[in-house]
Amino acid sequence: MLEKIGIREFRNNLAKYISATKPIAVMRHGQTVGYFWFYQT
């Protein structure tokens, strides 16, 4: 399931989201501005 968070929350808690294993939709004013998902090499 895709978690939707605001851009400010994403920026303030970046370390937490970098280690997340589920995809995240970054929102700004109700519009999706980007996606972030876990990728392991």
- Can you give the pLDDT at residue 1? 82
Q: Is residue 19 part of a domain?
A: yes
Q: Is residue 31 part of a domain?
A: yes
Q: Is residue 41 part of a domain?
A: no
The residue-averaged pLDDT of 1-7 equals 93
- Can you give the pLDDT at residue 10? 95
Phi-psi sector, 18: left (phi>0), alpha (psi -120 to 50), beta: alpha
* pLDDT tens per residue, range 12-37: 999 998 888 899 999 999 999 999 98
Q: Is residue 11 part of a domain?
A: yes
Q: Is 0.85 topped by the overall pTM? A: no
User: The domain containing residue 32 runs over which residues?
Assistant: 3-36
Q: Is residue 30 part of a domain?
A: yes
Q: Is residue 18 part of a domain?
A: yes
Q: How many domains does the chain fold into? A: 1
